[in-house]
Structure 1
């Protein structure tokens, strides 16, 4: 018996592996290429729809305006910059307000000192009435002392009101001191209210982001002088977009909040399903239209201000049966659509068609050029020179 040398075994397996690899590669090269899928044009029942032009808007958008006059000192960024809720977007010069606040604080402190003095005087009038003080008259108090020793004891023997009424004088003095105390408190409250008013204006010197979003448009620059009510920036949340359109009143019976309608976005000619989000309660008396907002799916390319179209069903029109094909079967030459039809010879033939509205995501109706039951290529088997898979 003859044995193979163990030193030749690795080389033998390497040769065998190389042979198998070459064989598999050749088998792949000889495998037939995948054939384009051929489908049959299907029918679909659909009513007539009307295409209405609209504008893409942000779900949340605000215009921040100046609340006080002054000079713009700070702007947080430029158009397209992102910010978090409560971030400072714009600040206005507050030097004058700070000076007014210092003045109001000084008035507050003065009123507080007047309250303390009025309280002392009121307590003094209670404990040591002015009518009994011997220091109320000059001359070492001798006139007052003479008055208390000789004149006042004889008042009860005098007729009428001669000599005055000591009890009433004491009541009058107490009332006067109490009024002064209340006036001091009122001045304190007025100074405190002035400080609160200035603090509110100081808060108005800064414009905060009401939610997470981006600056859409700037109306001012640093150094500009603004007046109350003047726009500063437009701020929006672009996470969710909507289409805002004015729909004729005759089409309103076909719309309900929550229903889905096809929409076409100008960017990339995207066709998506939009949800009816809001229907305004009143119509425009001049144009006889109703404003309707449609929610777009999250992640749709585009932004506020772009053109969009929505297909509104016309419930008054009759329902027809139309051919429906996948939009992947359509190729374009400029704005002319066409499809590859399987001819009688089994070969693809290019045929121009006229497209209607989308009946479902990825499914478009054909108004002319195709009949129900014809066979077409789901994807173009070839792209003829001058044609493309997307409209221009």
Structure 2
């Protein structure tokens, strides 16, 4: 009896010292008794490996040969749609465009001249045919007798000659117009190549990888930049056919990202219509919450119901605040019907969201555990009635009814 009184005195003294030292927070109520809850077993579900990917992702490649003169950002830099990401040397293309502009001006002048000549022929079709054949009286004689008589005897047909001249002038106009169109097409072709010399952001996103640096000489088809919209993330996974056939777009499932070992909800976004005949899998895309932050390429697992396992199986789930360590091992204080604590060594499972933890071994459903256990709490300590939370009472677990 004396030994028990001494132990109780030591416990009280330790609690007093800790309180005076500020180790007991006024905001956190320690040694509160709460019930153990259960949840659907994750072990009745099959984890399928995949990776985090952006919903929008492009690989920008070189469209023409040249030397890189500018890269306007680094990995992780954000760019709005239409921004220039990378530029090649344009000096040769600029020179060719000036040459094409000169050809355009020449073709335009030729077209104007051809149109003037055609108008002259249409306005005065016989001007060149009526040119005097000689000087003075000989020329007058040719105009009055020689040319009319030659037409009368069938030697010349002046109407046919005038028609041929009109047709020839029209042909020259057409040829000049075609030359002008060719010059326009050459300029448009060069402008297209000038646009291809720059890599433009097709949507709002960030540079995730650079495949070339300033000064590098590239060839058509060579990768330059990887650009992604990381504001919309997905998990891409190859699902076995026997599991994929029960999935529908909009289905909600659980997934685990390889960051903090945390579970999160995902939604089926797209199910590819074609299966891989070698792997017997179907590619499925799952949308992640917009608030979740993760790097693309991160390993992820999606949990699908196993048709061969009983889905009614449950697991023990507790808040992380009930778990403490003794000797480097995870332990939980369990309270029996006499309000006495018992130190139990537990084996932890997966970590859930909202600060919850799966316990694989060491607890049973409806056990009462100590939340936020004080550092001085020992196995065999006696807890008062005030330590029992309203939640424990609402769940029908009164003091003295641990199980």
Normalised to the residue count of structure 2, the TM-score between the two structures is 0.77
Q: Which runs of 5+ in 1 are unaligned?
A: 1-24, 385-392
2:313 matched to which residue of 1? 321
Find the partner of 2:109 among 110, 113, 119: 113
Question: CA separation of 1:285/1:61 partners in 2, compared to 1, >3 Å: closer, same or farther?
Answer: same
Find the partner of 2:82 among 83, 86, 107: 86
The reply on whether 1:127 has 2:119 as its aligned counterpart is no
1:349 matched to which residue of 2? 343
The reply on whether 1:225 has 2:217 as its aligned counterpart is yes
1:208 matched to which residue of 2? 200
Find the partner of 1:41 among 24, 32, 36: 36
Name the CA distance, whole Å, in 2 between partners of 1:30 and 1:206.
62
2:365 matched to which residue of 1? 372
Shift of residue 133 of structure 1?
Answer: 4.0
Shift of residue 281 of structure 1?
Answer: 1.5
3-state SS in 2 of match to 1:179: helix
Shift of residue 50 of structure 1?
Answer: 0.3
Query: Does the 8 A contact of 1:241 with 1:295 survive in 2?
Result: yes
5 Å-filtered alignment, 1:121-270, equals 121-130=117-126, 132-135=128-131, 145-155=140-150, 157-158=152-153, 161=154, 163-270=155-262
Name the CA distance, whole Å, in 2 between partners of 1:207 and 1:245.
30
Cα deviation, 1:61-88, whole Å, max 9, x if unaligned, reads 2111112221111100111112222221
Query: Does the 8 A contact of 1:130 with 1:136 survive in 2?
Result: no
Name the CA distance, whole Å, in 2 between partners of 1:114 and 1:379.
93
Query: Does the 8 A contact of 2:333 with 2:341 survive in 1?
Result: no
2:92 matched to which residue of 1? 96
Name the CA distance, whole Å, in 2 between partners of 1:200 and 1:29.
70
How many aligned positions are there?
354
2:382 matched to which residue of 1? none
Question: CA separation of 1:52/1:113 partners in 2, compared to 1, >3 Å: closer, same or farther?
Answer: same
Query: Does the 8 A contact of 2:258 with 2:299 survive in 1?
Result: yes
Find the partner of 2:67 among 71, 81, 101: 71
Normalised to the residue count of structure 1, the TM-score between the two structures is 0.79
Q: Which runs of 5+ in 2 are unaligned?
A: 1-18, 378-403
2:46 matched to which residue of 1? 50
Name the CA distance, whole Å, in 2 between partners of 1:342 and 1:247.
45
5 Å-filtered alignment, 1:241-320, equals 241-320=233-312
Query: Does the 8 A contact of 2:334 with 2:370 survive in 1?
Result: yes
Name the CA distance, whole Å, in 2 between partners of 1:31 and 1:109.
85
Q: CA RMSD in A?
A: 3.4
Query: Does the 8 A contact of 2:52 with 2:297 survive in 1?
Result: yes
Query: Does the 8 A contact of 2:70 with 2:87 survive in 1?
Result: yes
Cα deviation, 1:245-280, whole Å, max 9, x if unaligned, reads 111111124422222222211122222112222221
Question: CA separation of 1:168/1:350 partners in 2, compared to 1, >3 Å: closer, same or farther?
Answer: same
